[in-house]
Homo-oligomer: A and B are copies of this chain.
């Protein structure tokens, strides 16, 4: 019941969870790349996590989390995203600055702490990057959002998430006065450079590049 994994084990579990979202299965090199470690170290850890039944793993075959492993991963992600929300909403961090700190805070394990933090923050459903925060049972609100680049012309939509956490993106979005929750519609697309003309209510039209459009997710209203 009171899971007790090392910081290192938790970082591996979380990384595997994120990687397997894409392929379903993860390779040693992929994981080593994500954790800035060496493949040999990954193999060592895989054996340990397999012994703890968190992982399905046959040597040379790749691996993915067990049901139990996924539960653990979701509880780590819950802690990570709740802390990110706290840092931005209460301590006034920018969303480009919170990842590193949350990467440490997520390892402070205390059920009471997380429950009370969740209550204090009023049970937020999404973190500052628009990613869903799993609840106590690992359930997350599903956003059926699309990339802004795929939004049809003249359709009202709301910005729901960013696909990058770089300061450069935040800087640009602040300059253009776009943030999570902003309602907008695409008025024109220019084929030459794939740039867009956006309209935000009561504001002059804004132009955004293809790269920026790809970095934003929106939900049609």
Contacts and interface: CB of A to CB of B under 8 A. Distances in A.
A90 B110 CA distance: 16
Interface string A64-100: 0000000000000000000000010011110001001
A85 B7 CA distance: 25
A101 B108 contact: yes
A6 to B, nearest CB: 12
B97 A112 contact: yes
Contacts of A91: 113, 116-117, 119-120
A117 B93 CA distance: 11
B92 A116 contact: yes
A116 B104 contact: no
A105 interface: yes
A120 B88 CA distance: 12
A62 to B, nearest CB: 34
A71 B105 CA distance: 24
A108 to B, nearest CB: 5
Contacts of A113: 87, 91, 101
Contacts of A97: 112
